[in-house]
Amino acid sequence: MLRPFELCEPTSVAEASGLLAQHGDAARLYAGGTELLLAMKEGLVHYDYLVNLKTVPGLAGLRRDADGTLRIGAAATHRALEREPLVREHFPALARLEADVANVRVRAVGTLGGNLCFAEPHADPGPLLQVFAATARLERAGGERTVPLTALFRGPYETCLEGDEVLTEIAVPPLPPRSAAAYLKFGYLERPSVGVAVALTLDDGRVADARVAVGCVGPVPCRMPEAEAMLRDRAIDESVAALAEAGRRAGQAADAVTDLHGSADFKAHLVGVLLKRAFAQALASLRDGSPVL
């Protein structure tokens, strides 16, 4: 049973932000509720007011700019992202990730913005959006700012959002030409234990750029600069040969914690395994000439 709360239904971002400013810690933004309502039902958190973001028009939209940047409204559901032709065609790795989030019922209701803002560490989208160098637009009454996804997460269940800020849009720039991305995860519970995202850019038989991010294993998803440096700017074969060591470094750097999803050692090991496989998947899709993002 949920404890009683009151419902606010703003019709603009400024109004939503104003409600957050007015009620402070007694209010929380509510979109899909797939995370928030679980925590509220457990009695872990309580709010006197839920502010329904879905009544603000235009926050669930998806569009692609002339430069190829995908702009995802924060209230777009996983299901919409999984199905949207724009995403499937131009960001197939993201569409595949979204098609595999939790289960079909969660995807039908849960939103990308809610997923990011709840900052549950065992979540899929963070690492892939980080290798895409995605950004988040945060708005409040009278101002807005854009932060990279690498700066959004501060800790488990904690983001850089100020109390009256609203995440309104996630912008995902396209990768350079001759690039491919892949996201792989492993888990035996409802949520993943480990998630690894890779984006590769090839140029003339070389790995011109390699981006790696790891999620779920530690407190926050993060890019792995040390592993990236070992894989980048090398002949493809050299890069492949460096994968084992890059995976070991990424496993160490991921700050793995021991929890119900597995021991820290186990997760660190799996980071290496998934890095190899994700790298191979991205490379194979480039060589096939099939999905190139």
Partner 1 sequence: MDPMKEVPMTVTVNGERHQLTVPPWETLIECLRDRLGLLGVKKSCEVQVCGACTVLLDDRPVSACTVLAFEARGTHVRTIEGLARGDDLHPVQAAFVEHGALQCGFCTPGMIMATVALLEENPTPTADQVKRYMRGNICRCTGYKRILEAILAASRQPGHAGPGDGR
Binding site for partner 1 (CB under 8 A): 2-11, 33-34, 37-38, 41, 49-50, 79, 102-106, 108-109, 190
CA distances in angstroms from 107 to 32, 134, 205, listed in the order given: 9, 21, 39
Q: Which is nearer to partner 1, 5 or 266 (CB)?
A: 5
| Smallest distance, partner 1 to C-beta of residue 15, A | 9
| Smallest distance, partner 1 to C-beta of residue 220, A | 23
CA distances in angstroms from 282 to 79, 123, 197, 290, listed in the order given: 24, 21, 10, 10
Spell out the residues 6+ positions from residue 163 whose beta carbon is closer than 8 angstroms to its own: 20, 21, 24, 25
CA distance 158 to 285: 35
Q: Which is nearer to partner 1, 5 or 157 (CB)?
A: 5
Q: Position 222: which residue type?
A: C
| Smallest distance, partner 1 to C-beta of residue 31, A | 11
Q: Which is nearer to partner 1, 44 or 66 (CB)?
A: 44
| Smallest distance, partner 1 to C-beta of residue 44, A | 12
Q: Position 234: which residue type?
A: R
| Smallest distance, partner 1 to C-beta of residue 216, A | 17
Residue 1 is encoded by which pair of tokens? 């049973």
Q: Which is nearer to partner 1, 55 or 252 (CB)?
A: 55
Q: Which is nearer to partner 1, 104 or 244 (CB)?
A: 104
* 82 and 63 Cβ atoms separated by less than 8 Å: no
